[in-house]
């Protein structure tokens, strides 16, 4: 009878192996892939602390080598700063010393100018007294009083450092004498002052007023 060959029970065993093939093809490779992927990161994680320790050690060594160099550079910088400040101080001290000397000279020059200008104002009084004595006879009672005033005046000038310039009988000195006349006189040598018209005065090496004189040729 040919109808048994189409029985469903006979076709069932042929489908079972197909199910096993599906399990083998899909599950096994997935398990292997999981093991392979998880093992590599674990190894990398185990090596990281060792690398970090090595880097820390390298940094410490580099820091130890760098510290003496930095200290040395810092010392040089401090020495350079000190040298620069010392140079500034010395320059400032020299400038102040120059300023002090210059100020002293200027103050002394101003004082000398003021003193000379003041003393020059009193010289016409001397001229007036000198002319009064020349014109007053020796037997005039007023002459004695004029002589006393002139003596006081000369004493005051000497105390102030003012001295009269010698003229008559002295060689002509253009730095002290002002020649307004020249004469031919064999009694005097050439270039000798023979007469004084106005008395000259000086204070130290500075001339207050030149002597106005007559000079022999």
Per-residue pLDDT of 158-176, as tens digits, reads: 999 999 999 998 999 999 9
Per-residue pLDDT at 44: 47
Report the C-alpha gap between 151 and 153 in whole angstroms: 5
Per-residue pLDDT at 27: 42
The range of the structural domain enclosing residue 79 comes to: 33-118
- Segment 27-73, tens digit of pLDDT: 444 444 444 444 444 444 445 655 566 566 666 666 655 555 566 67
Q: Which residues of 179-192 are buried (b: 16+ CB within 10 A; e: fewer)?
A: eeeeeeeeebeeeb
Shared-domain flag, residues 97 and 146: no
Shared-domain flag, residues 38 and 100: yes
Shared-domain flag, residues 49 and 107: yes
pLDDT band per the 50, 70, 90 thresholds, residue 12: very low
- The better pLDDT of the pair 48, 105 is held by 105
Closest CA to 190 of 212, 210, 175, 172: 172
Torsion angle of C-alpha atoms 30, 31, 32, 38, degrees rounded to 10: 100
- Segment 108-149, tens digit of pLDDT: 989 889 989 999 999 999 999 999 998 999 888 889 999 999
Per-residue pLDDT at 205: 86
Shared-domain flag, residues 154 and 166: no
Shared-domain flag, residues 130 and 111: no
Report the C-alpha gap between 74 and 15 in whole angstroms: 89
Report the C-alpha gap between 175 and 206 in whole angstroms: 10
pLDDT band per the 50, 70, 90 thresholds, residue 201: very high
In a domain, 13, yes or no: no
Q: Say if residues 217 and 183 touch (Cβ distance below 8 Å).
A: yes
Shared-domain flag, residues 155 and 166: no
In a domain, 7, yes or no: no
Per-residue pLDDT at 57: 60
pTM above 0.85, yes or no: no
């Amino acid at each position: 009878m040919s109808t048994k060959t189409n029985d469903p029970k006979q076709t069932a065993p042929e489908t079972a192996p197909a199910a096993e093939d599906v399990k083998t093809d899909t599950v096994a490779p997935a398990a292997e892939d999981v093991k392979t992927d998880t093992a590599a990161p674990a190894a990398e994680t185990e090596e990281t602390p060792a690398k970090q320790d090595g880097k820390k050690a390298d940094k410490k060594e580099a820091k130890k080598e760098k510290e003496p160099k930095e200290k040395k550079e810092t010392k040089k910088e401090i020495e350079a700063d000190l040298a620069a400040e010392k140079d500034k101080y010395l320059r400032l001290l020299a400038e102040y010393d120059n300023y002090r000397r210059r100020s002293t000279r200027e103050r002394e020059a101003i004082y000398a100018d003021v003193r000379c200008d003041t003393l020059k104002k009193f010289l016409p009084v001397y001229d007036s007294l000198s002319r009064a004595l020349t014109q007053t006879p020796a037997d005039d009672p007023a002459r004695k009083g004029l002589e006393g005033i002139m003596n006081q005046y000369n004493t005051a000038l000497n105390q102030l450092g003012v001295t009269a310039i010698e003229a008559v009988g002295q060689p002509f000195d253009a730095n002290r004498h002002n020649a307004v006349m020249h004469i031919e006189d064999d009694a005097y040598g050439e270039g000798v002052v023979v007469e004084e018209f106005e008395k000259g005065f000086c204070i130290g090496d500075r001339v207050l007023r030149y002597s106005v004189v007559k000079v022999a040729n």
